[in-house]
């Protein structure tokens, strides 16, 4: 067991829910921040990658919307991906 698993195993249910809410709030804050950064950074034609259902999916941006972008992978499949989930590749 690692340190976090030990810590969680010894918490009460209310402490665990408090930690869960704090982690979820921080995750949402970071995702929103990353989304804003990506909105300013990414352009149509940029090479990006994101975590898809079968692993990392590389592709190119074909359209940028307000919250999401359309990304076409090498097989021609078009994915509708949140801007905060994209990572620019070289």
What are the pLDDT digits (tens) for 32-80? 899 999 999 999 999 999 999 989 999 999 999 999 999 999 999 999 9
Residues with Cβ within 8 Å of 88's Cβ and at least 6 positions away in sequence, in order, are: 38, 41, 42, 46, 47, 48
Residue 1 has pLDDT above 80, yes or no: no
C-alpha–C-alpha distance, residues 47 and 62, integer Å: 10
C-alpha–C-alpha distance, residues 50 and 88, integer Å: 9
pLDDT at 65: 95
Residue 88 has pLDDT above 90, yes or no: yes
CA 83 to chain centre: 8
pLDDT at 54: 87
């Amino acid at each position: 067991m690692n340190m976090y698993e030990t810590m969680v195993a010894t918490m009460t249910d209310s402490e665990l829910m408090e930690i869960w809410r704090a982690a979820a709030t921080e995750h949402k804050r970071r995702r929103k921040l990353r989304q804003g950064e990506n909105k300013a950074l990414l352009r149509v034609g940029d090479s990006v990658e994101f975590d898809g259902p079968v692993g990392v999916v590389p592709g190119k941006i074909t359209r940028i919307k307000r919250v999401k972008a359309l990304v076409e992978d090498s097989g021609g499949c078009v994915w509708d991906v949140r801007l905060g989930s994209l990572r620019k590749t070289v």
